[in-house]
Amino acid sequence: MAYEKIPDSVIEAVLKHHDIVETVGKYVHLSKHGKYMKGLCPFHSEKSPSFTVTPEKGIFYCYGCGKGGNAIKFIEEIEEYSFPEAIRIMAEEANIPITWSGSQERQQSADGGDRDTLIEAHELSVKLYHYLLMNTTHGQTALQYLRNRGVTDKQIDHFMIGYAPPEWDTLTRFLEKREYNLALMEKGGLLIAKQDKSGYIDRFRDRIMFPIWNRDGKVIALAGRMLGEGQPKYLNSPETMLFNKSRNLYNFHHARTAMRKSRRIVLFEGYMDVIKAWSAGVHNGVASMGTALTEEHASILQRNVEEAVLCYDGDNAGQAAALKTIPLLERVGLRVQVAMLPRGMDPDEYIEKHGADAFMRETIEHPVSATKFRLLYAKKNHILLEEEGQKNYLLEAVGIIAVLDSPTEREFYLKELSREFDMSLDSLKQDCFDRRQQLQKMKPQRDNNDNSWNNGRNENRENRRTSSAPPVLPAYQVAERKLLAQMLQDADTANTVHQKLGEAFNVEDHAALAAYLYAYYAQGHDPDVSRFIASLQDSRLERTAASILMTDDDIPFDEHLLADYVNEILKVPKFREIEQMKEAMVRAERSGDMLKAAQIAIEMNALERQLKGRQDDRF
């Protein structure tokens, strides 16, 4: 996608206003480590901090996943914005006027225009449905239903709940009157084409309507709840260019502030649960929409919170859904807990029966651990009044506990089992140890190194990978990185390297960075690594630049070191040429052409002497 021409002055103003530490700090808890700030990476799961911010350079870099860049790039990555979108949002926050050409059209393509038109149509549709609910006789039955369910007018306004009347073409006529393209409205999920293709009808009829917002608070879809009898009870918009149910969570934009402040999310199953819980004080609640939680949902949550509380229905289906959701969230590194509800009750019903205070006190504020929930879920599948039932439950429970990495956690739950069933703790430990041994045998051989039951240490494999020493780079690559690090911070060095080396870097990305840097200084810019990175608009080069800038070097940089680096870089093509000569000489000898082999040997020796003679060259 071609980027808009955004003035350099705007980019510079955005970077000046948005301090890298403050920008990242809204999403990541940072701790000071010398001249760096460190924290857990928001882009991948980790237990040991590998995410580093350098305030003096205005950049971030993760040694674990390789993401890096400036404050603008961080917002692009964390919010999944394009470069122009990130600039626009950050400029608005800084009260910087958005006046550049094309600023109102993120994409001049037809698709970009269609998206904007559909969002506008969705926003108008929500206002229409809300008006029909609150101000017309058509909506009285739906309004009374909501009030009977304990939904206040304030909540109705906050969540913009509405009502779609039973007529076939209420919204169709509304949109047609405002000259919207009805074919596009069908494509966007608001209308349905008639079977005979003679026109369009409303998708939603005789339903209570719930808007679905994107992360920026724009309406991108709708959900309708049937008022009377009929199926489906809930009807969502289909997937469109605006709406992907596997990537969107209901109420996410409302919940963002609270979830980031608390680093905690509460997951519900339905819209009404979220709405009623909001009134009870749960302002960090979201729900998936007509689908089980997906890996994409989990990834979105992982970037915003550290802990997830599942508050699913208390019936069998709800508890089974919670059991499936727990490992999905654990895989992305979230701590998972479960808010327990009485059997057969959903959050909405609990609040209605016991009140908001009890809901917060008894469920949300005192959830059980994921392990405890698994044990409780397993227990109900066994008849504990019988010896066989007790034995089978204990064996299943030990299996659940055995997978825990922490020896302390394992002993805690084993002691609970020991007390509850009057069993020997030592026998339970032995069973648990045997189970862990079995689990180890099932893993690939390289992972069979966990003896944590005996020594109390179980280092997470991912952390070992993350914290392991970086690979040793060839000398020429080190030289290129060292040169570029200095060039990024000093225009005179860049000018000297341009004269002596040009773009003859051996690593493709290094050569590209050098070319961009020469052009950057030629335009009259002063050294500013954050501003330079913003000019690249290439994710791979941005990461490479950030990685290079994280290199520490205690050796003072001078003209002799520069000469050494340049010589090291220039030697590489010669070494490669010598290798090719060696191969050619071997081929000549094998074919019996000894004269050709001798000629190649002479040329090769001359090239080797030339290389040796350059070892002490200085500028």
Q: What is the CATH number of domain 8-93?
A: 3.90.580.10
To the nearest 10 degrees (0 to 180), the angle between helices 407-421 and 387-402 is 170
Q: What is the pLDDT of residue 412?
A: 95
Asked if residue 425 has pLDDT above 90, the reply is yes
Tens digits of residue pLDDT in 74-90: 998 887 777 888 898 89
Tens digits of residue pLDDT in 28-78: 889 998 888 999 888 876 778 889 999 989 999 998 888 899 999 999 888
The answer to whether 290 touches 238, Cβ cutoff 8 Å, is no
pLDDT (mean) for 567-572: 84
E strands of 272-341, at which residues?
285-287, 307-310, 335-338
- In angstroms, the CA 511 to CA 61 distance is 21
Domains 110-236 and 252-366 share a fold: no
Q: What is the CATH number of domain 252-366?
A: 3.40.1360.10
Q: How many CB atoms lie within 10 A of CB 573?
A: 11
SS3 433: helix
E strands of 5-161, at which residues?
31-33, 36-39, 51-54, 59-62, 68-69
Q: Which of 159-168, 284-293, 560-569 has the highest mean pLDDT?
A: 159-168
Asked if residue 158 has pLDDT above 90, the reply is yes
At 538, give phi and psi (nearest 5°). -140, 115
Tens digits of residue pLDDT in 342-395: 888 899 999 989 999 999 999 999 999 999 999 999 998 888 888 898 999 999
Asked if residue 428 has pLDDT above 70, the reply is yes
Q: What is the pLDDT of residue 128?
A: 97
pLDDT classification of 467: cutoffs 50, 70, 90: very low
The answer to whether 340 touches 307, Cβ cutoff 8 Å, is no
Asked if residue 178 has pLDDT above 90, the reply is yes
385 exposure class (CB count in 10 Å sphere: 0-12, 13-18, 19+): exposed
Higher pLDDT, 539 or 499: 499
Of 442-446, 538-542, 599-603, the range with the lowest mean pLDDT is 442-446
555 exposure class (CB count in 10 Å sphere: 0-12, 13-18, 19+): exposed
User: Which CATH topology does 475-613 take?
Assistant: DNAb Helicase; Chain A (1.10.860)
Structure token digits, residue 570 = 């220039």
Tens digits of residue pLDDT in 535-544: 887 888 888 9
Asked if residue 110 has pLDDT above 70, the reply is no
Region of 160 (left: φ > 0; alpha: ψ -120 to 50; beta: rest) is: left
Tens digits of residue pLDDT in 286-345: 998 877 898 889 888 887 888 999 999 998 889 999 999 999 999 888 999 999 998 888
Region of 262 (left: φ > 0; alpha: ψ -120 to 50; beta: rest) is: alpha
CATH second-level architecture of 110-236?
Answer: Alpha-Beta Complex (3.90)
- In angstroms, the CA 310 to CA 274 distance is 12
* Segment (H or E) for 13: helix 8-17
Asked if residue 100 has pLDDT above 50, the reply is yes
Taking the alpha carbons of 520, 521, 523, 527 in that order, is the dihedral positive or negative?
A: positive
Domains in the chain: boundaries: 8-93, 110-236, 252-366, 377-460, 475-613
**What percent of the chain is predicted at pLDDT more than 90?**
45
pLDDT classification of 459: cutoffs 50, 70, 90: very low
Q: What is the pLDDT of residue 384?
A: 86
Average pLDDT, the chain: 85
Structure token digits, residue 168 = 């076939």
554 exposure class (CB count in 10 Å sphere: 0-12, 13-18, 19+): exposed
Amino acid of residue 462 = E
Structure token digits, residue 222 = 């709708």
Q: How many CB atoms lie within 10 A of CB 549?
A: 22
pLDDT classification of 106: cutoffs 50, 70, 90: very low
pLDDT classification of 107: cutoffs 50, 70, 90: very low
